[in-house]
Every structure is written in C-alpha cells, then in structure tokens.
C-alpha cells in the first residue's frame, strides 16, 4: 500500500499520558484521596458525556465543559468538599497540561520530516494548543472535533481531515492507541496505525488488548517504532 | 493597558509577502506576461469574492476555491491560453507557498516565548498548515475563517479567537498590516497592533497609508519592533 502523506493523531492516551498526569495533579492538590481511582473515574465519565452530544441529547459542548461537569460529579462521589471554585477551575485545566509519553516529542519530530502531522482529537482547540505549547508538541496543524462539530467516532471527523488537506481517505492515516477509533477511521477508508501504550489506563487496569489486528495498516510499540517502520517500508 | 496574552495574526501581507511570492511564481511559469500586474489582479478579486460569501450570495467557499475562480478570470483577462489543468491547479497552490517577510520567523519565535501566537486568517486551514510547514512558521495554533464559517471582518472571527482561548476580548490582540481588519477587531474590544509592511502591494502600488492611528494599541515597523515594544512596555 502507498504510504500516507498526512498522519492524524489521536491525543489522549496516544500522544500524552492522561492517567499519570491527572493522578499526579490530583495527588498534589487533594492528598487525602485515592488519586489513581480519581483519575480513572474522571475519565470514565468522558465517553458517556460525549455520547450525549453525539446523540443530540446535549447540544455542542466542548470537552473543557464536559470535563468540568464530570469533575463536579466525581468530587461529590469522592466526598471532596474543600475545593474553592478557583481550585476546581484550575484542576479542570490539568487536561491542558497532560505530559507526553517519553517517545512522543522525538517521534513526532522525526515523523514531521516526512509527513504532515496533525491532531485529530475530541479535545477542544484551546486545550490542544495549550497542551502543545506546554509539552513542545510540533504539530503542523491542530484539528479537533470542535472544527467539525462532531465527536469521534463520527465519520465527519475522519473525512474532515481528508477534506482539509484535499486528500483521498487512503492518503491519510489515523494514529491511535484505541481500536474503536481506528476501526471507525478504517471504515471511512483511512489507513491506520495502532500504538500500544500498555500503561494508558494506569497501573491498576486490566491488561489492555494489544493484539495485532489484521485490518490495521501498522502496529507499533511507540512513535519511534512507527517512524522506523515507515522509513524502512 | 495590560498586555494581551494571545496574539492573533493576520497572514496575507502581515506574515507573508503575497505580492512578491505570487509575482515570482507567475514570472517563472508564464514569462510572456506582466507578472506584477497579474499578481495584483489575482489579489484584487479576493475581497469581492469574499464579500459574496459574507453577504450569503455564495455559500461557504474556501479561499483555495475562490482563488481558483479568480485565477480562471485573470488568465482570460491576460490572454493566457497555454496552461493545462494540472498547471492551473499547481499555480493556484502558490498561495500555500507564500514566503515570509525577512523578520517574520525570528519575530514570531521571539513573541512565542511570552505569548500564545495564533493565525486569524481568511485562508483555509490546509493552506495555512502547508504554508507554515513550508516557511517554518512556529504557530501555537492555526485559526482560520474556516473554523468560524465567517470571513473577517465579521465579528464572529475576532470573538471566536477569544472564545477558543477562554479570554476576554481585551486579553487578545490582533496583529495586522490592514487598518480595516484592525478597526473591526478594535470594535469587538480586542487590542490591536498595526505592522507597516510598506511593500505589501508590490512596487507599483500607490504609497500605503502608514499613518499612526490614535485607536491602535501598538504601531510597529515589523515583528521585531513589536516584540521589542512589548518587552520594554
């Protein structure tokens, strides 16, 4: 298969370690609670919240606002009553400060030499721009569900990347550590690269399914491995 | 006045030398015509075309497509009948390859140290991403009329930048070499920086109005001058 010219990256989990970053911020701010469980609980509200937007039950709502709605619930659930409004606002911005995986910046820099690299994330544009500035992520373009007013895995997002760059779906590749995301991109005709990220869900989660699927174009340990596979192919 | 935290840059003319870049590509491709006049004619179709979109006469149309419509007219006007469809397509992409002014990359790099720097351009996202990759423009975010589905000077564009970054208008500054653009941003409550760019319209145009207006927040010769004014303020 011909190599793609545009690589579109899922961000949460694929590019940055959301679980470790959130758990660290929570542990620093609220030392009395189980920060690992808190991080998992916060994230687990994410898909149901987006599903409400995707189904139309909720109008278009940015991830920053969904994160805040979920945070308020999780704080209640964990019995945290000591945070001021300013502290909650600040904690919600932890998602703008997620730390990259160790291979991320070097891997993206390598891939950028030969490909156009863009995000395709459900995170909002402001969040993704702040994260990139903070972590030094060298994107050629930041694309978000916010541009398409559709959340992944709606086809409008994957096909939207193709339209933005005037490319056929087969010329674009989604890079992600989530099989459902890749499967939806594959159904739209994009190439796909699965990145393992075994620790994405933190130290206590059941082992992630890292099985190589027959329908993925690439299966890589990390971004350096992907860059080397794309070079030597 | 407090300094802004986000700088939003107009692109054509302010960041890149559209006239010189287009004239050079035209001269190389069609040596028999007056490339300077051709570049001016191509650009002069731009505002009327956008006005049709802004008024609703034309549905949402990307600049790439507006550029192509205008190109076809200008080729007729200049009596050019020798270009193949592929050559016309390629020439239309000259707008993706516009060259930065000599101070641009260094100025943006300096400003990026203290501010979030984003585009706010009527150019489409793919055009702006290709231009940034080609010219090494270090944007924190690329924002376009395409995101807001409104062309400047519609207020939705300036206020859209504020919403994306969760900022009050006064915390955002438009940087542009066009007074009408700055005036519309000013009317929305943004800070403004005028950049002179005296040669924007090429060597034959009447002298550009470089007069310092009372309502602009900054008036700078170029990006290095702006960076130094913002440092020493």
Distance CA A92, CA A16 (A): 16
Distance CA A73, CA A205 (A): 22
In 3-state terms, what secondary structure has residue A8? strand
pLDDT at B208 over 90: no
Chain A neighbours among B 160-219 (CB < 8 Å)? 164-166
> Are B197 and B177 in contact, with CB atoms under 8 Å apart?
yes
Distance CA B3, CA B172 (A): 9
CATH number at residue A91: 1.10.150.240
pLDDT, position A205: 77
Domain of residue A209 covers 6-17+99-232
Q: Which residue of B has its CA nearest to A162?
A: B126
Based on the domain organization, do A28 and A54 belong to the same domain? Answer: yes
> Are A22 and A132 in contact, with CB atoms under 8 Å apart?
no
pLDDT at B212 over 70: yes
Based on the domain organization, do A74 and A123 belong to the same domain? Answer: no
Based on the domain organization, do B92 and B206 belong to the same domain? Answer: no
The answer as to whether B115 is a domain residue is: yes
> Are B14 and B137 in contact, with CB atoms under 8 Å apart?
no
The answer as to whether B220 is a domain residue is: yes
Residue B215 per-residue DSSP state: T
Extract long-range pairs of A217-221: CB within 8 Å, 24+ residues apart: A217/A1, A217/A173, A217/A191, A217/A192, A217/A193, A218/A173, A218/A191, A218/A192, A218/A193, A218/A194, A219/A193, A219/A194, A220/A193, A220/A194, A220/A195, A220/A196, A221/A195, A221/A196
CATH number at residue A148: 3.40.50.1000
- Using the structure block, give the residue that is written with the tokens 């000013």: B186
The answer as to whether B117 is a domain residue is: yes
- 3-state SS, B131-175, equals HHHHHCCCCCEEEEHHHHCCCCCCHHHHHHHHHHCCCCHHHEEEE
Whether this model's ipTM surpasses 0.90 comes out as yes
Read off the pLDDT of residues B87-130 as tens digits, 9 standing for 90 and up. Answer: 999 999 999 999 999 999 999 999 999 999 999 999 999 999 99
A116 and B129 in contact by Cβ < 8 A? yes
| A191-195 β-sheet, strand order | A141-144, A116-121, A6-9, A172-176, A191-195, A218-220
Q: Which residue of B has its CA nearest to A125?
A: B164
Q: Cβ contacts (< 8 Å) between B129 and chain A: which residues?
A: 116, 118, 140-141, 164-165
Distance CA B173, CA B119 (A): 11
Chain B neighbours among A 78-117 (CB < 8 Å)? 116
**Selection from A84, A12, A82 nearest residue A42 by Cα:** A12
Based on the domain organization, do A76 and A24 belong to the same domain? Answer: yes
Read off the pLDDT of residues B158-168 as tens digits, 9 standing for 90 and up. Answer: 999 999 999 99
Beta-carbon count within 10 A of A75 CB: 20
Of B51, B69, B96, the last residue of a domain is: B96
pLDDT, position A204: 85
Is A143 touching B (CB cutoff 8 A)? yes
Is B141 touching A (CB cutoff 8 A)? yes
**Integer distance in angstroms from the first to the last C-alpha of chain A?**
10
Based on the domain organization, do B67 and B153 belong to the same domain? Answer: no
Of B73, B96, B119, the last residue of a domain is: B96
Is A47 touching B (CB cutoff 8 A)? no
pLDDT, position A232: 79
Based on the domain organization, do A109 and A156 belong to the same domain? Answer: yes
Q: Cβ contacts of residue A38 below 8 Å, gap of 6+?
A: A22, A23, A26, A30, A74, A78
Of A96, A111, A131, the last residue of a domain is: A96
Nearest-CA distance B142 → chain A (Å): 7
Is A140 touching B (CB cutoff 8 A)? yes
Based on the domain organization, do A196 and A213 belong to the same domain? Answer: yes
Alpha carbon distances (Å) from A125 to A81, A130, B141, B160:
31, 9, 8, 11
Looking from the CA of B2 toward its CB, the CA atoms found within 13 Å total: 9
* H-assigned helices in chain B: 18-29, 35-44, 46-55, 63-77, 85-92, 104-114, 125-135, 145-148, 155-164, 179-187, 223-232
The answer as to whether B181 is a domain residue is: yes
pLDDT at B216 over 70: yes
Beta-carbon count within 10 A of A88 CB: 16
Q: How many domains does chain B have?
A: 2
pLDDT, position B233: 66
Which residue stretches of chain A have pLDDT < 50? none
The answer as to whether A1 is a domain residue is: no
Based on the domain organization, do B110 and B73 belong to the same domain? Answer: no
B116 and A129 in contact by Cβ < 8 A? yes
Q: Cβ contacts (< 8 Å) between A132 and chain B: which residues?
A: 140-141
Output phi, psi for B147, to 5 deg: -70, -40
Distance CA A205, CA B220 (A): 55
Based on the domain organization, do A57 and A145 belong to the same domain? Answer: no
Based on the domain organization, do A78 and A109 belong to the same domain? Answer: no
Distance CA A98, CA A93 (A): 9
**H/E run at residue A162:** helix A155-164
Distance CA B119, CA A72 (A): 34
What pTM does this model have?
A: 0.95
pLDDT, position A233: 66
Mean pLDDT for the stretch of residues B27-56 = 94
Based on the domain organization, do A36 and A68 belong to the same domain? Answer: yes
> Are A138 and A117 in contact, with CB atoms under 8 Å apart?
yes
The answer as to whether B1 is a domain residue is: no
Based on the domain organization, do A135 and A213 belong to the same domain? Answer: yes
Looking from the CA of B210 toward its CB, the CA atoms found within 13 Å total: 12
Distance CA A130, CA A151 (A): 20
């Amino acid at each position: 298969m011909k190599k793609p010219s545009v690589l579109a990256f899922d961000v949460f989990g694929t590019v940055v370690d959301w679980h470790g970053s959130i758990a660290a911020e929570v542990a620093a701010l609220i030392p009395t609670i189980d920060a690992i469980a808190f991080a998992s609980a916060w994230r687990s509200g994410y898909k149901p919240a987006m599903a409400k937007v995707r189904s139309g039950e909720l109008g278009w709502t940015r991830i920053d606002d969904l994160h805040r709605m979920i945070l308020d619930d999780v704080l209640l659930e964990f019995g945290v009553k000591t945070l001021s409004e300013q502290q909650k606002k600040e904690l919600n911005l932890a998602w703008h400060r997620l730390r990259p995986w160790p291979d991320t910046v070097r891997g993206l820099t390598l891939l950028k030499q030969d490909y156009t690299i863009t995000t395709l994330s459900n995170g909002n544009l402001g969040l993704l721009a702040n994260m990139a500035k903070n972590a030094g992520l060298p994107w050629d373009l930041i694309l978000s569900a916010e541009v398409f007013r559709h959340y992944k895995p709606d086809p409008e997002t994957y096909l939207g990347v193709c339209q933005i760059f005037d490319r056929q779906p087969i010329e674009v590749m989604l890079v992600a550590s989530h099989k459902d995301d890749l499967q939806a991109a594959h159904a739209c005709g994009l190439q796909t690269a699965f990145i393992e990220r075994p620790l994405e869900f933190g130290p206590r989660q059941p082992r992630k399914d890292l099985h190589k699927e027959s329908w993925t174009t690439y299966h890589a340990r990390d971004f350096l491995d992907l860059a080397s596979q794309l070079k030597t192919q």
